Amino acid sequence: MIPYTIPLTATLSRMPLHGLLSLLVMILLLLNPLLPARAQRFTRSELPTTVTTPWEITYGSDHYLWVTESGGIVSRIHPVSGEKTTVYTAPDYFPGSPKEQSPLCIKPNIGVGTLSLALHPHFTDKATPFIYYLYSYNSGTLDTPATRFKIKRLTWDATISAVTADSDIVLNISTGYDHLGGRMMIIQQDSMPYLYLTVGDNGLSETNLPACYEPQSTNPNNWAQDPTTKNGKIHRFHLDGSIPIDNPIAGNSFYTRGHRNSQGLMYNSMRNIIYNIEHGDRSDDEINILHKGMNYGWKYVRGYHADNNYPGEAEFVKNYKPDPRIANDSLVESFYSFCASPTQDTASDGAKWCSIAPSDGIYYGSTGIPEWTNSLLIVTLKDGVTTDPELYQLKLLPDGSLAPSSSQNPNPNRFFGGDQALNGRLRDIAVSPDGRTIYLVNNYGGGRDKITVYTYDTTAIGVDEGFQNDDFILYPNPTNESSKVEYTLSTPERVCVTITNLFGTQVLEIEEGLQPAGRHSMTIETGGLASGVYVMSFEAGAKAHRRVKFVVMK
């Protein structure tokens, strides 16, 4: 190790008392023991808020959490105090009717609930203070009930903190005995905002419950690829509920088809990539990149096309016939498939299935948690033999593709599984604007429905992975005008250095670009930084990371 080059004793002899005390505090912070690799860097807490079967949580531009609850309820919650206000209860919310039950099914009741919510992209502007949300209603009569879902638009008045108007914008969204889908997202593309909606296939797997549908041809999941039906699709609307003229089929809201139970939508605005998350059947939970008009295969294709892990899959892919009504129609395989080659029992005990049951996720583009920047964050529901309700982080490369995985640096990485007894089933995720606070909502788990909060600890410093011993050296430390970093790359990598203060605010960034394998050095100019303790995050591609605490001393 190269020694410090600043004559520290001479510096101390010339320093006034208050400066000496500050330096001693800085050095004590600097000398804190390094944390082990993958140390827990989050502080867990719970908001005191009482919530009932929450389904959606969104961090609004008004700096409040917006949550949907059972019974057609929309709530607004302070993200720190947890104080809750019920801002709207749908007067026509419908919980289903015994007349719609299927007594032969293990899930006999028709699918109902308060599902997704989305805020207008310019929610805090006076011209567009709109809230969109999805819930079940009765499209029939009391004698002949017909449960459906609708999208309602609410008008919010921030001056009085109240909903002042409401209107139905999309009606007659299908439902069934399972697989409701039900996620919405407003995405701004080419200066035009669109409302995307996922609708599940509404059926149950035949091998589970053959008595639900007699004959099996009446099972709604048979229609997931039929563009004339609503189920098994992702739909696209204008924000007034009308259908865009450039949808795949004129006058039809469908955007993509062949989905099983899509419960998540994520948008990478840097690359204009829309991802959906959907539940597989015992295996092959999927992340897909959505392309207009395309077919994602359910129920004939599950996960990757080439794995042929389902009877008849390879033949269907080989002989696929495009729909002549849809321009450039083709099958698209999944971007990522969880449990693509199942080894567990997939026929009997559901607890043994390797399906993780992903519910929703977000694209994380913040630098608040440097290790997560440019990642997909996905929350899951299933507590099984090999699965936990937890958060999956899938690191992406700059072009939006999946970063490679290794034993030392797994991709995806997993978080919060050790807290599953407290957290329960994780239904949705929201992130604060600075990227350092994670909010999770659960359904009937961990003793009560709740909002769990994970706050990133910006002072937790340690070796992440990828560097060993003298592969990485920072000196001098403490420093005044500059420090040097020496490092070794085992393969060509893009190198980036960011420096933050202990509150997580970025104060310096250095992009070195693609560098060849071998030994390198760079100089970190710190002359423009005030005296204090800082954190340097060094990243070499997706393979090597280090976070180091160091002192600037003037």
Q: The domain spanning residue 545 has which CATH number?
A: 2.60.40.3080
Statement to judge: residues 258 and 125 lie in one domain: yes
C-beta atoms surrounding 123 within 10 Å: 19
Q: What is the dihedral of CA 56, 59, 62, 63, to 10 degrees?
A: 130
Q: Which residue has the tokens 């995806």?
A: 412
In three-state secondary structure terms, 168 is strand
**The pLDDT of residue 3 is above 60:** no
Statement to judge: residues 267 and 290 lie in one domain: yes
Helix (H) or strand (E) holding 256: strand 254-257
In angstroms, the CA 533 to CA 478 distance is 9
Which is higher by pLDDT, 418 or 212? 418
In angstroms, the CA 549 to CA 554 distance is 17
**The pLDDT of residue 239 is above 60:** yes
**Do 435 and 367 touch, CB atoms closer than 8 A?**
yes
Q: What is the pLDDT of residues 226-236, one digit of tens each?
A: 999 999 999 99
pLDDT exceeding 70 applies to what percent of the chain?
86
Give the mean model confidence (pLDDT) for residues 312-340: 95
- pLDDT recorded at residue 347: 60
Statement to judge: residues 59 and 186 lie in one domain: yes
User: Which residues, at least 6 apart from 324, have a Cβ–Cβ distance to it below 8 Å?
Assistant: none
Statement to judge: residues 23 and 56 lie in one domain: no
Give the mean model confidence (pLDDT) for residues 326-353: 82
User: Quick check: is 42 in a domain?
Assistant: no
Q: Which residue has the tokens 């008004």?
A: 62
- pLDDT recorded at residue 542: 66
Boundary residue ending a domain (298, 325, 346): 346
Statement to judge: residues 482 and 452 lie in one domain: no
**The pLDDT of residue 20 is above 50:** no
Statement to judge: residues 469 and 447 lie in one domain: no
In angstroms, the CA 396 to CA 389 distance is 22
Structure tokens given for 536? 């340097």
Statement to judge: residues 303 and 330 lie in one domain: yes
User: Quick check: is 502 in a domain?
Assistant: yes
Boundary residue ending a domain (417, 437, 456): 456
> C-alpha distances in angstroms, 289 versus 236, 261, 318?
15, 15, 21
User: Quick check: is 2 in a domain?
Assistant: no
Give the mean model confidence (pLDDT) for residues 138-148: 97
Structure tokens given for 145? 């009930």
User: Quick check: is 536 in a domain?
Assistant: yes
Residue from 228, 226, 175 nearest 203 by CA: 175
User: Quick check: is 506 in a domain?
Assistant: yes
Statement to judge: residues 468 and 451 lie in one domain: no
Q: What is the pLDDT of residues 457-487, one digit of tens each?
A: 765 554 445 555 457 788 887 888 888 888 8
**The pLDDT of residue 361 is above 90:** yes
User: Quick check: is 184 in a domain?
Assistant: yes
Give the mean model confidence (pLDDT) for residues 140-163: 97
**The pLDDT of residue 7 is above 50:** no
Which is higher by pLDDT, 349 or 80? 80
Using the Cα atoms of residue 158, residue 162, residue 164 and residue 165 in order, give the sign of their dihedral.
positive
- pLDDT recorded at residue 447: 80
Q: What is the pLDDT of residues 390-401, one digit of tens each?
A: 999 999 999 999
In angstroms, the CA 98 to CA 159 distance is 43
In three-state secondary structure terms, 442 is strand
Structure tokens given for 502? 């202990």
In angstroms, the CA 554 to CA 249 distance is 66
Q: DSSP string covering 22-44, please? A: HHHHHHHHHTSPPBPTT---EEE
Statement to judge: residues 360 and 416 lie in one domain: yes
Residue 32's identity, in one-letter code, is N
pLDDT exceeding 90 applies to what percent of the chain?
60
> C-alpha distances in angstroms, 333 versus 60, 311, 444?
33, 16, 34
- pLDDT recorded at residue 502: 63
Boundary residue ending a domain (328, 346, 364): 346
Statement to judge: residues 396 and 529 lie in one domain: no
Domain count of the fold of the chain: 3
pTM, two decimal places = 0.78
**Do 234 and 241 touch, CB atoms closer than 8 A?**
no
In angstroms, the CA 429 to CA 452 distance is 10
User: Quick check: is 147 in a domain?
Assistant: yes
Statement to judge: residues 452 and 467 lie in one domain: no
- Confidence category of residue 128, pLDDT binned at 50, 70, 90: very high
**The pLDDT of residue 531 is above 60:** yes
Mean pLDDT over the full length of the chain: 86
**The pLDDT of residue 207 is above 90:** no
- pLDDT recorded at residue 503: 59
**Do 456 and 434 touch, CB atoms closer than 8 A?**
no
Kindly report the three-state secondary structure assignment for every residue of 376-392: EEEEECCCCCCCCCCEE
In angstroms, the CA 7 to CA 237 distance is 67
> C-alpha distances in angstroms, 439 versus 10, 221, 375?
49, 33, 17
Statement to judge: residues 240 and 304 lie in one domain: yes
- pLDDT recorded at residue 4: 28
From 129-143, 166-180, 450-464, 529-543, the region with the lowest mean pLDDT: 450-464
CATH number of domain containing 239 = 2.120.10.30
What distance lies between CA 384 and its chain's CA centroid?
A: 21
Where do runs of H (alpha helix) occur along 481-528?
none
User: Quick check: is 43 in a domain?
Assistant: no
In angstroms, the CA 69 to CA 427 distance is 12
Structure tokens given for 289? 């990149």
Q: What is the pLDDT of residues 250-275, one digit of tens each?
A: 999 999 999 999 999 999 998 999 99
**Do 366 and 435 touch, CB atoms closer than 8 A?**
yes
Structure tokens given for 494? 């893009």
Q: Which domain holds residue 262?
A: 51-346
> C-alpha distances in angstroms, 500 versus 10, 380, 432, 532, 537?
29, 32, 18, 11, 8
Q: Which residue has the tokens 């947890």?
A: 82
In angstroms, the CA 517 to CA 492 distance is 5
In angstroms, the CA 371 to CA 376 distance is 12
Residue 519's identity, in one-letter code, is R
Exposure b/e, 342-373, CB count within 10 A at least 16 = b:
bebebeeeeebbbbbbbbbbbbbbbbbbbbbb
